Structure 1
């Protein structure tokens, strides 16, 4: 098939909706500002619902979306799931959900069973924490992926037919590789490209090696998203190599594009980011581009068309 700039349907594999004035997101409260990889995020502490999202995405043919948990009050994890299903029923989006689940909680088994019973829930996310720098990881600091109680919760994912969305920097991927090996029937979906924030030659080489090692596991896939840089506008010049190397490492059957909106609006417009994705892969056969923008997200998240 003739190579061309992608103009087909998009299934956005990672985004958020929220209403900070009424929803219990601790990090979005007016008087809270947590350390954040993009710096000051005050500008996204605003209502963001499907009409806002589709206005941002207007230049691109987004047909379905995947909602990712947004760190709702951890004492009420199903509250967020209830909320986002009401949003989906009213607006026809999102079309799949990654729910909150604290895998080391005493009631983790019961919670996973409840979450899995919701119509749109396909996966859960629990950021495993751990070393904040590569050196601290090298010195032996570990994440919850090495915690026995957390692993007991993780073991319940397969029984409930749930995937696991993993958000962790690349220097913790050796733990994730072991997790994938120990639970081969649970799909791990790596969020935000392994967070390649260090763009020095050494940083990129280490990221590349960690991603290559992780990708050896057959039950892992990756979302290309969240690759903006603090205090720097999103550009294809900064990100083309990251995009193309991720696809080279995982292949076009195990990678998918995502906006991470409204969070990534801190570094670029929806059009800038998705036009950059399209430019980066325009030399690929069109059917391979379609996998990255649409087919893979539908396959892994089993999105539902909610429109009448």
Structure 2
């Protein structure tokens, strides 16, 4: 199987500071206990985990590194690329609402392998409640700086904030958005999935929005084909084959399954698609959207 993995993380909490890994008292991950992640995960580890596929490229996504030094993470990634050739490209961290966002974005854009940025906007823990961070004036001012720098935006937010994201997409058609983790379908019941799909459809209406089918394990650390098939197929139905990509979310999703099992699961979900469509989903869309030279 040929693959470009559009979502993984390299990290070293022994040498660098990641609040969610290094600080005591942090809440567990949405999959549950994440203590197994509190160790280095570097290209050699990733090559071991991906040995069963023909890995054509990969995308490192910011790993919630020390927010006081977001550019430091890209220096760390640059050193990994120099030693190992991985990742192919990267997504940096930025806090768009902070006064130093303009300078941070300029510094990130100066790395020739950085394609975009991610910040998890302020969000409510459940549907309802006040508007989230994507409505803040300072955040929108920072977001407007992406297009001149040629950076796209990686969006990770609960599905109930996607209507806010759809308004941002409409107001800034020159900034590509790549939705992370299939729009986070947290409730796999029929009613929950219907609400998730409705919110996601508002994003799919914008042609400059793409989506990564990644990070779709469930609380308790499972990756079930019978639970995920509907998610995978509904995302593709909404966005079309040409705007969907697969990602492992490794090492985080090692809490749920092996890399091979995750990609075998994706392959099983789209077994009925044509060879050309499968090539788009596993390789070609990632090559185009992330500008990866394979």
2:141 equivalent in structure 1:
152
Q: Deviations over 1:36-92 (max 9, x none)?
A: 211110011111111111111111111210000011111111100111011011100
Matches of 2:178 and 2:218, distance apart in 1: 22
Q: Does 1:87 align with 2:76?
A: no
Q: Does 1:57 align with 2:50?
A: yes
Decide which moves more: 55-64 or 25-34. Answer: 25-34
1:177 equivalent in structure 2:
166
Select which of 243, 248, 253 maps to 2:242: 253
Name the TM-score, length of structure 2 as normaliser.
0.98
- The number of residues matched between the two structures is 294
1:134 equivalent in structure 2:
127
Matches of 1:207 and 1:19, distance apart in 2: 34
1:217 equivalent in structure 2:
206
1:75 equivalent in structure 2:
68
Q: How do 1:198-237 residues align onto structure 2 when only pairs under 5 Å count?
A: 198-237=187-226
Higher relative contact order (CA 8 A, sep 6+): 1
CA drift of 1:99 comes to 0.3
Matches of 1:49 and 1:148, distance apart in 2: 38
SS in 2 for 1:181: helix
Alignment check: 8 A CA contact 1:33 1:40 kept: no
Matches of 2:287 and 2:281, distance apart in 1: 10
Which stretches in structure 2 are left out of the alignment for 5+ residues?
A: none
Alignment check: 8 A CA contact 2:123 2:158 kept: no
Alignment check: 8 A CA contact 2:213 2:247 kept: yes
Which stretches in structure 1 are left out of the alignment for 5+ residues?
A: 1-6
Name the TM-score, length of structure 1 as normaliser.
0.93
Q: Does 1:116 align with 2:109?
A: yes
